Amino acid sequence: MQAYIRIFPLFLALTAIGMVPNAWAADPWRTESLLPPMSASSLVGKETGQPCATALPQTALTPQDAVDLALCNHPQTREVWATARVQAALLGVARAGYLPGIDGRVAVMRNFNDTADVTQRTAALSLSWLLFDAGQRAASVDNAQQLLDAALATRDATVQSLFLAALQTYYNAQATQAAVLAASEAERSAQESLSAAELRYQVGIATPADRLQAQTAASQARLNRQRAEGDARNALGALANALGFPAQTPLQLAALPAEQRLPQDFQQNLDAMIAAAQVRRPDLKAAEAQLQAAEASIAVARAQGRPSLALAAGPSWQRTDGVSSNGSSIGVVLNVPIFSGFENTYRVRSAEAQRDNRVAQRDRLRNQITLDVWRAYQSLTTATQTLQTTRDLLASAEQSARVALGRYKAGVGNVLDLLSAQSALANARVQRIQAELDWNIYRATLAQSMGALDYSLLQAAEEQR
């Protein structure tokens, strides 16, 4: 009975350690320290010490504000962070294999037979410590570490995708607002032409056809303005939704810079840009980590078919029908797998096939990265050229419209020339807006294709304001 009294508190202590994590440590392997902070700023390397943004700013919404809100409020950022936390915990599971395991057992049994009823009480502690496992634990830890690296790299890739999506939505909303201003200006010009046609008709130097054509152009301009306003409202609703707010939330966007300029390092060697992308792209880093994890899985599968050696020890106590007995044991257990129906053979074969699959996925992604950079670079180059061309186009169209209106008012021009010039001006404004939208989006797309999309891109834009 004295042995039972001695062993029972030990049972309680070990149970407390197993059931209450704080009795030992909340994170003894410190796997949580391997995770980055869950904030939008840290997601893209912007260390400001500020918490995640959850409310709209008091000032006009800038692209940087839009990215902050989108990253903080989007459920996918929480999803990828939680996935990384799962992998960090699994790393702790793998490291736990290096520590001994202790189990306790207490039992009370009543045996019934023809002669007498016997009560049997038993208690035992057992310690098991794996001393040698042919590298299985080391491979398991390596596998878990690589999967954690893959999860963190996937998180970075997801963040850059959300970053780009937020910018695209923001710039599209800006473009639709600029389109409303352009449509309003076109409507004003059409109304001015209609007034001039009415005046010429009243003094008898214009035909009814001139007045009707001017009225048609004015009505068409009004229709275009109304449609542009509807597109702008839809774009603002989409932006509010992307930022985590109801679609009807009122938003005030910052104005575009007067002139778009490329960074000084844009016209660099394309081969160097592709090489940099092969190093920086987080999705390729994730693919490499997945490949390394698959290599570790092969080592785990092979080690499972090899001998292992463990230490086993523990005290025991038994009392049966008033008779007590105490005991203890210590020893080593050698486990030698002999035959398992070729299970381990196929485990290794499966792990090797998975490794080959990861190799193919990595190589496919490398080729895709080259294509992504090539396309983004060419698109940005074209957008840059288009930006300059539309600037010249808009200037010439404005001058042509002014001349046509002056000639018409002076009675030396006809209404068709005037309406044609105004239509060309309206088209030039639309093309200018589209060129600015394309330039902003393709610049961000190129940065994302290189794995370099972060707040420095927006800071460079802010310096142009």
Question: What pLDDT score does 152 carry?
Answer: 94
Q: Are 228 and 370 contained in the same domain?
A: yes
**Is 1 part of a structural domain of the chain?**
yes
Q: Are 91 and 121 contained in the same domain?
A: no
Q: Are 251 and 323 contained in the same domain?
A: no
Q: Are 299 and 233 contained in the same domain?
A: yes
DSSP string, 98-154: GS-EEEEEEEEEEE--SS--EEEEEEEEEEEEEEE-TTHHHHHHHHHHHHHHHHHHH
Q: Are 17 and 111 contained in the same domain?
A: yes
Each residue's pLDDT, cut to its tens digit, for the chain (465 residues) gives: 444 444 445 444 444 444 444 444 578 888 988 887 765 555 554 555 566 777 899 999 999 999 989 988 888 888 998 999 999 999 999 999 999 999 999 999 888 877 777 888 999 999 999 999 999 999 999 999 999 999 999 999 999 999 999 999 999 999 999 999 999 999 999 999 999 999 888 888 888 898 899 999 999 999 999 999 999 999 999 999 999 899 999 999 998 766 666 555 555 688 999 999 999 999 999 999 999 999 999 999 999 999 999 999 999 999 887 788 899 999 999 999 999 899 999 999 999 999 999 999 999 999 999 999 999 999 999 999 999 999 999 999 999 999 999 999 888 889 899 999 999 999 999 999 999 999 999 999 999 999 999 888 887 666 554
**Is 344 part of a structural domain of the chain?**
no
Geometric angle at alpha carbon 363, from 368 and 152, rounded to 5°: 80
Question: What pLDDT score does 191 carry?
Answer: 94
Nearest to 427, CA basis, from 397, 458, 452? 397
**Is 39 part of a structural domain of the chain?**
no
Q: Are 401 and 424 contained in the same domain?
A: yes
Q: How far apart are CA 271 and CA 248, in angstroms?
A: 46
Nearest to 163, CA basis, from 249, 95, 80, 63? 63
Residues of the domain holding 327:
1-30+102-132+308-339
Question: What pLDDT score does 50 carry?
Answer: 61
Q: Are 400 and 450 contained in the same domain?
A: yes
**Is 450 part of a structural domain of the chain?**
yes
**Is 42 part of a structural domain of the chain?**
no
Q: Are 316 and 406 contained in the same domain?
A: no
Question: In the chain, how many domains are there?
Answer: 2
Task: Determine if the pTM surpasses 0.85.
Answer: no
The secondary structure of residue 252, as a DSSP letter, is -
Residue 3 sits in a domain whose CATH number is 2.20.200
Q: Are 2 and 90 contained in the same domain?
A: no
Taking a C-beta distance cutoff of 8 angstroms, is the pair 41, 107 a contact? no
Question: What pLDDT score does 118 carry?
Answer: 81
Strand order in the sheet with 118-132: 101-111, 118-132, 308-320, 323-335
Helices (H) and strands (E) in the chain, counts: 11, 4
* Separation in Å, CA 220 to CA 22, 188, 208, 213, 216: 73, 12, 18, 11, 6
Q: Are 124 and 199 contained in the same domain?
A: no
